[in-house]
Copies of this chain bind each other. A is one copy, B any other.
Amino acid sequence: MASITPTSPNTIRSTHRPTLKPLVVPERLLLGPGPSNADPQVIAAMDQQPIGHFDPDYLVMMDEVQELLRYAWQTDNALTYAIAGTGSAAMEATLANAIEPGDRVLVAVKGYFGHRLVAMAERYGGAVQTIHKPWGEAFTLAELTAALDTYQPAVLAIVHAETSTGVRQPLEGLGAACRAHGCLLIVDTVTSLGGLPIFLDDWQVDLAYSCSQKGLSCAPGISPFTMSPRAVEKLERRSHPVANWYLDATLLRQYWGPPRVYHHTAPVNLTYALREALRLLAEEGLAARWQRHQKNAEYLWAGLADLGLTCHVSEALRLPTLTTVRVPDGVDAKAVIRKLLADYNLEIGGGLGDLAGKVWRIGLMGYNSQPQNVDTLIKALGEVLRAVA
């Protein structure tokens, strides 16, 4: 019991006062579904004191982030900014801002994050309908168009790069079909932004979100978000306020642009990091970035085949950022993951949901998409598989 200040009759308890040493963080090579290792220049950018969230230098940085995000997504959307939360917050932001209570919402589910979209959409009062594909496949445009005809939704939500399955969902033609049906199109680009081709405006996508810690090579905790003029028009016509204050685009856009109204205290150091990550992306260029990811993924797939392992997804639909590999019969998937982490400081992911125990998930994202990381992984995985066999 320590002594107390004169203003208080209470005594300070030391019940929950552990004596801890300064933080020691292990060095890991993160080749799972994310977070990935950040670019060292991005980490260095965070290593500075915060400045104020209305500092003139900070406002410039906000503008830069917005412009660089437009490049990364290939969009002219004025309403493009970063959410002060992780990718799931940005996911929720698209639904909160697009859905009014009673709106018909169609979710195309082909993995874990499709189910998450359903769970969130229901909380915003959407009348949610779903269509499904097995985990490891994508929808055809015909299937999606037929579902638009059947359900006549106000909003369609679909995942571009399913982090749970490693599948790339082709999106060409879907935006046009949505417009023909008077429907807004929400696309999850969490595992695609900065890693594979995205043309948000050409594809006529209305709302999109992503994360920072995958293709963008930034630390996690800040998340890209964008809305098309068409989606903004619906936002401005709403008869109910957006049900989520923190993610309300009608408020946030007044901070990210004129009149610069206070909303929240920005995650300043993460903005430093995201600005640097996006600057490095613009420096490398999208074409080079996407080609690098594709090339290193193909190198990984060849290495996995040499180990006698099978990819879960057909090559045409396989993500360059994230590969699902089938766990061979008789192998304990979790034991392999634990041994890679404990003996090699190397993280890969296990399966989620329908694929739990059946696949490993191997990420080559952003800064980590390098041939020497493939070499390290293939060597370690081969050794561990021989050890557990």
**Interface residues of A, Cβ cutoff 8 Å to B:** 2-5, 7-10, 12-20, 22-23, 25-28, 30, 32, 34-35, 37-38, 41, 43-53, 55-57, 61, 64, 67-68, 70-71, 74, 76, 84-89, 92, 119-120, 122-124, 172, 197, 199, 202, 211, 213, 219-222, 241-247, 262-270, 272, 275-276, 279, 282-283, 285-287, 290-291, 294, 341, 347, 352
Contact = CB atoms under 8 A, between A and B. Distances in A.
Nearest to A170: B7
A215 to B, nearest CB: 14
Nearest to A112: B262
B86 A265 contact: yes
B287 A5 contact: yes
B14 A71 contact: yes
21 contacts: A3-B287, A5-B291, A5-B294, A16-B67, A17-B285, A22-B45, A23-B276, A35-B52, A37-B49, A38-B50, A53-B220, A84-B89, A85-B85, A86-B264, A88-B263, A89-B264, A123-B245, A219-B270, A221-B267, A221-B269, A221-B270
A202 B287 CA distance: 60
A26 B5 contact: no
A149 to B, nearest CB: 26
Contacts of A23: 45, 61, 272, 275-276, 279
Contacts of A48: 25, 43
A164 to B, nearest CB: 10
A246 B50 contact: no
